[in-house]
Amino acid sequence: AMGLGFWKGETSRKAWVLTSGVIAILLVNLAIAYGLNLWNRWFFDALEKREIARLQWAVIAFVGLIVSGAAAAVAMVYVRMSLQLAWRTWVTDHLLQRWLTDQRYYKLAIADETATTPESRITDDVRLATDPMVEFATGFLSSFMSAITFAGVLYFVGGSITIGGWTIPGYIAIAAVAYAGCISTAIFLIGRPLAKAIDDKNEAEAQFRFGLTRVRENVES
């Protein structure tokens, strides 16, 4: 809830510009992927029919698609990392203000000696809470749009199959969705304990670094 404040208030314009940029580039990437799909049919049809003129245009179109794809990939990395950096900066500043206001840094140390290290929370945990989230959201949105687009392609070109007197149209698309659903469910169930394990690992590393820092700061005593 606190992290979503980046998309509100004074930073909302920058946040939505970067977010819109990511979505726009995702759409461009999807269009290029769909274009490559159409290009394959166009190229091999021309190759089968030995239509030299169409083959020449197909080669030119292929070069254009590849150059466009490379440019879109570079743009995606730039905009995505800019969004990650801006969001992480905002969250870090917000947490620093809360920690340094009203001597909370001092009161927390007195109130609970076993409290987790705030320095690590503000550095490593903010990075872990923002950077992977942007990558996950980007990957999920890209996969979702690609799935919808190419499921439609499979549905219309996959034909139908008759089983026990029942005709199933677009059975290839249905089978692909069912397969993806089963695999995704299995991965979710198997990997679910990994979240707590990673959190425990990060906490242990933070405590270890903090302990070493305490030794260095108190080296004389």
Tell me the pLDDT of the chain (221 aa) as tens digits: 888 999 998 899 999 999 999 999 999 999 999 998 888 888 888 888 788 888 888 888 899 999 999 999 999 999 999 999 999 999 999 999 988 898 888 888 777 666 667 777 788 889 888 999 999 999 999 989 988 888 888 888 777 778 877 887 878 888 888 898 899 999 999 998 998 898 889 888 888 888 888 888 888 88
Q: Which two tokens stand for residue 100?
A: 């340094």
Q: pLDDT (tens digit, 9 = 90+) per residue, 182-220?
A: 999 999 999 989 988 988 898 888 888 888 888 888 888
pLDDT at res. 116: 64
Contact between residue 156 and residue 171 where contact means Cβ atoms under 8 Å apart: no
Q: 14: buried, middle or exposed (CB in 10 Å: 19+, 13-18, 0-12)?
A: middle
pLDDT at 86: 96
How large a percentage of the chain has pLDDT more than 90?
38
- At 97-115, the pLDDT tens digits run 988 898 888 888 777 666 6
* CB-CB contact of 120 with 107 (8 Å): no
CA dihedral 140, 183, 174, 42 (to 10 degrees): 60
Q: What pLDDT, on a 0 to 100 scale, did the predictor assign at position 43?
A: 85
* C-alpha separations of 34 from 112, 148, 201, 205 in Å: 57, 12, 42, 45
SS3 166: strand
CB neighbourhood size of 15 (10 A): 20
pLDDT, position 79: 96
pLDDT at 113: 62
Inter-helix orientation angle 52-100/12-49, to 10°: 160
Burial class from Cβ neighbours inside 10 Å (0-12, 13-18, 19+) for residue 80 reads buried
Q: Please state, in angstroms and rounded to a whole number, the distance separating the CA atoms of residues 130 and 108.
A: 25
